[in-house]
């Protein structure tokens, strides 16, 4: 038995001792990653929820008051975060 196969066997035995199969370990890791990715979708909601936080005129960028460009900046940020969440949760079945 080579060192790498012995190590793989020890890992499998350790998993069996805990009563958890490799497939279950993978599913648990995948689900926690998916859940974390879905939490990204809350960021734009929080960033735009409290209007008094960004209800200002200054600073002005390209003639747009802060109130408008702050909201406009969230459009690509939200799209990017949605893309990350989608890529993390989609199934390649």
Q: How confident is the model at residue 4 (pLDDT cuts 50, 70, 90)?
A: low
**Residue pair 30/22 in contact by the 8 Å Cβ criterion:** no
Q: What is the pLDDT at residue 16? A: 54
CA torsion, points 6, 10, 12, 18, in degrees to nearest 10? Answer: 180
Residue-wise pLDDT for 37-77, tens only, equals 788 889 999 999 988 989 989 899 899 999 999 999 999 99
Residue-wise pLDDT for 68-80, tens only, equals 999 999 999 999 9
Q: Higher confidence at residue 44 or residue 90?
A: 44
- Whether the upstream peptide bond of residue 7 has omega within 30° of 0, thus cis, is no
Q: For residue 61, which phi and psi values (nearest 5 degrees)?
A: -125, 120
- Read off the pTM: 0.60
What does the radius of gyration of the chain's CA atoms come to, in whole angstroms?
A: 23
């Amino acid at each position: 038995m080579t060192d790498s196969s012995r190590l793989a066997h020890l890992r499998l035995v350790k998993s069996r001792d805990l009563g958890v199969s490799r497939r279950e370990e993978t599913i648990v890791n995948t689900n926690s990653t998916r859940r974390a990715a879905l939490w990204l979708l809350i960021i734009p909601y929080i960033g735009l929820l409290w209007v008094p936080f960004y209800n200002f005129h200054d600073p002005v960028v390209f003639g747009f008051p802060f109130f408008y460009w702050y909201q406009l900046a969230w459009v690509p940020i939200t799209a990017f975060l949605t893309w990350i969440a989608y890529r993390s949760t989609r199934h390649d079945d």
